[in-house]
Amino acid sequence: MGEVEFAEIGSGEYCVTIELPDGRTSTVVIGDGVRHRLFEFIGSRPRRCAIVTQASIGVAVDPVVEHRVFHIADGESNKSMTTIEALCEAFADWGLTRSDVVVGLGGGLTTDVAGFAASVYHRGVDVVHVPTTLLAQIDAAVGGKTGVNLPQGKNLVGSYWQPAAVLCDTETLRTLPEREWRCGLGELAKYHWLGGGRLDELPLAERVARCVEIKARVVAADERESGQRALLNYGHTLGHAIEIAGSHDLRHGEAVAVGLVFAAELAASLGRIDSAAVVEHRRVVSGYGLPTNLPSGLDPDELIRFMSRDKKVLDGGLTFVLDGPDGLEVVAGVDPALVRRTLEVVT
């Protein structure tokens, strides 16, 4: 099992160090303005730095060494193998080598794509992330999971590739559009059931740091999601299905929020938790101003079909992370009929 060190390294600045069992280390620094220290974390070896970002991000970094910016298009449809191929071809045209470094600058889509491209280009190039959204800082950019989507489901193609460092600059969060902020709050709400408690009462940098610490401890214990790490997907089984099904206006974190309430209702139907626990789920989710019900017009059969393709699925049955007397657990073989009835409860 790996180890995690959490430290306040300055006024409102925090550092979480993840030491994995095989000796690899990933450092996460959280605080205002930390993106301006990028050069300290890319190491002395790289000749060049490939900065993967989106034109809409509006945040810049200077790695000091020779660098080039590679733009990827906005939108979930561009989180694809086509984008990875185009990015790797652009790396090759520039002459990027295994001695260089890739920097992912942007939200979760960008860090997922940059991390995956770094993991497969030349069979692995170092990557450093500078996440600029709440969702990316507390979840997507931390822990080394990368991936892109297929038409059949989210994140079905990917790899585990630990970033050398992650610089969570909370300064970039202060200008986030309200909708993008809400997207991150869905992931923040999830941490309530992973030991985070009343995170909304903490200053912003500490709030981000505590989420990173929780995720880091899970990752250090189970990097490749063979057990405990699956718990980080609480609310995501339905959340991902919502994202890829039908036409609606929900973003990732909002879909996860509905998934949290659905998971609570499903756990109650299985006798794992009581009605008070369901009420608590609804209180926490609605307290962040997030939706607690499915958008109209979604087909239950389609949602169930997408949930059956989730990465957590065991032995071909429906599998969910559910609350229970011992906390969150992975529960396999859930009856589709019960799932359908529970979907009606959150409609």
Catalytic residue numbers, as ranges: 123, 145, 187, 215, 225, 229, 233, 236, 240, 252
Q: Which of 315, 318, 309, 313 is nearest to 339 (CA)?
A: 318
Pick the closest to residue 127 from 146, 139, 114, 142 (CA basis).
114
User: Can you tell me whether residue 125 is helix, strand or coil?
Assistant: coil
Cα separation, 50 vs 67, in Å, equals 6
Q: Is the distance from CB of 102 to CB of 38 less than 8 angstroms?
A: no
DSSP, res 139: I
CA distance 151 to 80: 9
Q: Residue 311 in contact with residue 319, Cβ under 8 Å?
A: no
Q: Which two tokens stand for residue 328?
A: 């969150």
